[in-house]
Amino acid sequence: MQQNNIQILCTRPLPTSLIDLAAEAGIEINVSPFIETESILSIEVQQEIELLSFQTAIVVFTSMNAVDAVTGFLDGHQPDWTIYSIGTATGRLVKEYFGEERVAGTAADAASLALLIAEDRFADEVVFFCGDQRRDELPALLRQHGIDVNEIVVYQTINLPHTIEQQYHGILFFSPSAVQSFFQKNKLTDTTILFAIGNTTASEIKKFTDNKIIISGSPEKENLVAKMMEYFSGRGIGDK
């Protein structure tokens, strides 16, 4: 194993396998979360989901947190839903619970997903399961195309701002919320490279710093780690 000369901060938990793989390439990843999410377990949310679970509906998921929250309330029940979802990981979780036959479409980001739903032209109304800090792109685009959006907030994001004493060669960001939380108490050196899970997160970073930003081409944590490894060592996750 190489000596770990490159120091990376990851602002969300990562599988140990990814941390170990980076270490083999001489890159040390220190994990320090700046946000956490919690399902909203209120009676009101439970009643909304239970009522909807006995109806035919078109529903939208844009995060794994929303899938986890909703399926927790469903407790094994399989509703008659047509489902659209974002991202490979969220889509995979949807298919694991609801079955692949329920998935009408997936897209890489919220804007693309909204356009896909609009182009399918059989949705007059959708249910959007989201968090309390959801972005505007998807509901705004759907409403522009004459599609009503029933938003059900099923999880909340809690900021965990804290001061980082060490200077890092690179920092991994996976959401705009984590970016906001990080910059509440931290500043960067000009040489720190920032890695963003997507364009929305990158746009949030630009509000706080002019540092170099590298954007992952896919909304998967593995791909963002791969981008970082390629930048610092030329070694991707698929390399042995």
Closest residue by Cα to residue 178 from 197, 152, 165:
197
Q: What's the pTM value of the predicted model, to 2 decimals?
A: 0.84
pLDDT of res. 3: 55
Q: In what order do the strands lie in the sheet with 35-39?
A: 35-39, 148-159, 125-131, 57-61, 81-86, 103-107
pLDDT of res. 238: 47
- Report whether 40 contacts 165 (CB < 8 A): no
Can you list the domains of the chain with their CATH numbers?
A: 6-34+160-233 (3.40.50.10090), 38-157 (3.40.50.10090)
pLDDT of res. 217: 75
Using CA atoms, how far apart are residues 11 and 97, in angstroms rounded to an integer?
28
Residue with tokens 């990981």: 89
C-alpha dihedral (173, 175, 179, 180), degrees to nearest 10? -170
Close Cβ partners of 102 (under 8 Å, ≥ 6 residues apart): 81, 82, 83, 94, 95
Residues of the chain with pLDDT under 50: 1, 238-240
pLDDT of res. 199: 85
pLDDT of res. 95: 95
pLDDT of res. 234: 64
pLDDT of res. 87: 76
- Report whether 134 contacts 154 (CB < 8 A): no
- Report whether 67 contacts 43 (CB < 8 A): no
* Token representation of residue 68: 């986890």
Q: How many residues does the chain have?
A: 240
* Token representation of residue 18: 């990814």
Close Cβ partners of 228 (under 8 Å, ≥ 6 residues apart): 8, 22, 27, 170, 172, 195, 214
